[in-house]
A and B are shown apart, each in its own frame.
Chain A
Amino acid sequence: MTTVTNKTDNTGDVRLSGISKTYDNGFTAVQPLDLTVPQGSFFALLGASGCGKTTTLRMIAGLEEPSSGTVFLGDQEVTSLPPYKRPVNTVFQSYALFPHLDIFENVAFGLRRRGIKSVKKQVEDMLELVQLGEQARKKPHQLSGGQQQRVAVARALINTPKVLLLDEPLGALDLKLRRQMQLELKRIQTEVGITFIHVTHDQEEAMTMADTVAVMNAGRVEQLGSPADLYENPNTTFVANFLGTSNLIEAEVDTKSGDEIVLKAGGGKLVLPEARCSAPTTTGGKVLVGVRPEKISLTHADEAGEIPEGRNRITGKIADSSFIGVSTQYVIDSPVCPEFEVYAQNIDRDARLVPGADVVLHWNPAHTFGLDAAQDIDAGIQEEAAV
């Protein structure tokens, strides 16, 4: 699997080799999994609920015993170490702040359990870092959601763990606060340089914050890479649909010329760079062709002649359009794909582009990607909606 460039210090590496988790009732939450998270990186496990991402995190924390495989922190094997003996701390979902202790004691909890007597200075510094110096003597329920979240981070970070695990840390916050905390967490991570492993179902959150994202589905890692790489070049329909929106068209391989593949789709031809195709391509074989909605330009059928040569094109009729502000989202009814989505920037709005208008969709072939047609074309679509 992909490994981001290794730094000299590797005590904060997390290596999972062949770990899996099957519960007593026979349900397998995590299929055997190999994963390396290098020291100092911000790593996101992304997937819908029930995909095994939280179980994976809990196995790293020691809260769940793997059914098979080993967990390494740096060079130390920790597979059977209880959580209180691991140099790993967790920011829990909905925070799990101790309701009977005030903020100060919540943050001091880990230090005190390790027998450190003079915790005052450290705790105060930590509360300063998360901007909660004034709130030290309040109880958790007296704080707002965002403040509680910062206490949870402070409570974990004060122990200077090798790895910080975050389980849906922003799930309980409203959208605006979530944005703010994403930047805040990113800032803290850069400041302390600790490895962060972040579990989330929110693809935007994963892409904004993480250096590396692993997309999980049904107990497996579907694809792993940088956010841009995953977005631009998905390898499976699940990734294509789960991360943003993709238009997928069933096509047949016509000819191959050089590093380009020419495909037939609904009477027209589409060009696909071979390097961007993760499926086997034998002539006459089926391939799913994908393109992101914002890569597509929309031209009224009357001006079809003005479209430059060498672009992939598809004809259709506007079925629906919605004005978002920065852009307009169109749904195009096309013979090759009934609900083709196009996002057009509102730079020069063409007044003729209204529902019912005949249009030509065209895009640079370099933005096309190809997927194995043996997969479910709708994989990953429902999951994103069901949070």
Chain B
Amino acid sequence: MSTLTEAPPLAPVPEKKPPRKRGRLVPYWLLLPGILWLVVFFALPMVYQASTSVQTGSLEEGYKVTWHFATYWDALSEYWPQFLRSLLYAGAATILCLVLGYPLAYLIAFRAGRWRNLIMILVIAPFFTSFLIRTLAWKTILADSGPVVGALNTLHVLDVTSWLGWTSGDRVLATPLAVVCGLTYNFLPFMILPLYTSLERIDVRLHEAAGDLYARPITTFRRVTFPLSMPGVVSGTLLTFIPAAGDYVNADLLGSTDTRMVGNVIQTQFLRILDYPTAAALSFILMAAILAMVTVYIRKSGTEDLV
């Protein structure tokens, strides 16, 4: 007899039965430990941080809550370039990730055939080499005397990027370009995986149907494939933008003092200068800015069932 590769489609799921009385507490017991963990070690720290941000004092004499909101103003007026830079770099890296990641996700979903699993593994496996080691490798790749910089120089690409302010002189390292390149590299898998997940769900016959209805390949992509992959695009851009905006590793390892991002400032204030109120205020502003942007973005793109 023939063997089916797939089980027959499931019939509609029967209606959920209301929970029985004796089981009413079960969900709360299941939730309790994990939720408690998140409340104590995620939510509560946010409260502490908010309170720290309005304290004044010094490390020696101790800090007190004095509702000193001026810290926010001072922090912003001093560090707005780093804020702006964070958003710009993260935005650029996100767009680059989308542009670079989409073809690869598409390739895995529709064109890879029996290579699909292997490519998937190659996308994920670098995770297991510490990302710091891999980021350091970019120092070698983009080294001043290396082949990449040499080639860019010969092609006069660096003249253009220098003119744009992305690089300086005939160097790539320690410039914005290097930082964005590192951010893009580091967060690319976070773009590819959600894109792949939503592309993979698309029925290939939709492409054929669009072709049958006189859509050229490019139109098929624009009118059918891309709209259907929107959930992946939205969660991919979020998963790239959010960590990139808070990152300070790339700016530190591949950049210079001119490419410092807000993450660098928070880290320095907190761990070196020990100015806790300023650091807390900066961190709070970053959080608020990102939450606001994420909320607007999710509303606009109409995919609120990401969670």
Contacts and interface: CB of A to CB of B under 8 A. Distances in A.
Indicate yes or no for A touching B, C-beta below 8 A: yes
Interface of A: 23-24, 54, 58, 63-65, 93-94, 99, 140-148, 168, 171-172
B305 interface: no
Contact of B11 (A23, A94, A146, A148): A94
B23 interface: no
B164 interface: no
A146 B2 CA distance: 10
Interface stretch (B12-20, B111-119, B189-197): B12-20
Contacts of A145: 4, 8
Contacts, number: 40
B257 interface: no
A168 B3 contact: no
B7 interface: yes
A189 B19 CA distance: 35
A141 B10 contact: no
Contacts of B4: 141-145
Contacts of A93: 11
Contact of B1 (A64, A147, A171): A147
A295 to B, nearest CB: 36
A343 B14 CA distance: 39
30 contacts: A23-B15, A24-B18, A54-B14, A58-B14, A63-B17, A93-B11, A94-B7, A94-B8, A94-B10, A94-B11, A99-B7, A141-B5, A141-B6, A141-B7, A142-B3, A143-B3, A143-B4, A144-B1, A144-B2, A144-B3, A144-B4, A145-B8, A147-B1, A148-B7, A148-B8, A168-B11, A171-B11, A172-B8, A172-B9, A172-B11
Interface of B: 1-11, 14-15, 17-18, 20
Nearest to A146: B1
A65 B23 CA distance: 15
Question: Which label, helix, strand, loop or mixed, suits the secondary structure of the B interface?
Answer: loop
Contacts of B2: 144
Nearest to B7: A141
A277 to B, nearest CB: 39
6 A-B pairs closest in CB distance: A172-B8, A93-B11, A24-B18, A94-B11, A144-B4, A145-B8
A147 B9 CA distance: 15
Report which residue of B9, B15, B18 has the largest number of chain A beta carbons within 10 angstroms of its beta carbon.
Answer: B15
Given A63-B17, A144-B1, 6 more contacts: A23-B15, A58-B14, A65-B20, A93-B11, A148-B7, A148-B8
A169 to B, nearest CB: 11
B11 A140 contact: no
Contacts of A24: 18
Contacts of A63: 17
Contacts of A147: 1
A273 to B, nearest CB: 43
A65 B5 CA distance: 37
Contacts of B18: 23-24
Nearest to B2: A144
Contacts of B5: 141
A143 B3 CA distance: 5
Contacts of B10: 94
Contacts of A146: 1
A312 B15 CA distance: 49
Nearest to A173: B8
A54 B11 CA distance: 13
